[in-house]
Structure 1
């Protein structure tokens, strides 16, 4: 699960073009996967539900406008972003993404166990994020 979630974080954090491949960062950031996996493992040691939260965050991101990382965007002023929508209040793991990004950028500035499989990396960045569109998501209290 940690390897899968690590791949999801890599998918969500970095955008070096729009093509998805299983070896996207092999030349530019060869240790990125191990850095991301360590960050996810460290978060899981302190916060047992973190892997489930990362998976939920990925679902929220992909459900609205596709898998474009828009759930990570923040807005100021009167606008509200996806992360501000009522169903997203359960997304408590933004800190894992922030910590992971810091760890990777400390090595490359500018840029939980279980089964694993190859996940294409990279992403096409979203430019729109609206809390009003989160009404389509199931509420955190949905059983």
Structure 2
């Protein structure tokens, strides 16, 4: 049985900082996007999946959605990780688990990046999710 450690937290800083967050020890939002999709950590982006957002400009995609819904709340993204024991899973399996988790939690309602990192002894996923729905449900008045 696979047992992954998983955690998700709110990022209350600039979205561009969150994107680069994971790459930098400062742990700012601006660093997160670049870090989680880093070619060296994701085997040349092989293990980076973009759900409901532009794979080439995810920061712009998420920021545009937030502005489109006039969302001024301080949370600019949610950042999560999913870590596996050394040798417990292959990168392919870990990535599939991360993508399936994101699809199950966020379906097609939110903009999400799932990146599987291979830069440590243990394989781990980073999940970055926009704080507002990226798709409009015409039956719902509340989109966030």
TM-score bracket, normalised by the shorter chain, equals: under 0.3
If each structure's strand is expressed as a fraction of its own residues, which one has the higher value? 2
Calculate the TM-score normalised by the size of structure 1. 0.28
Higher relative contact order (CA 8 A, sep 6+): 1
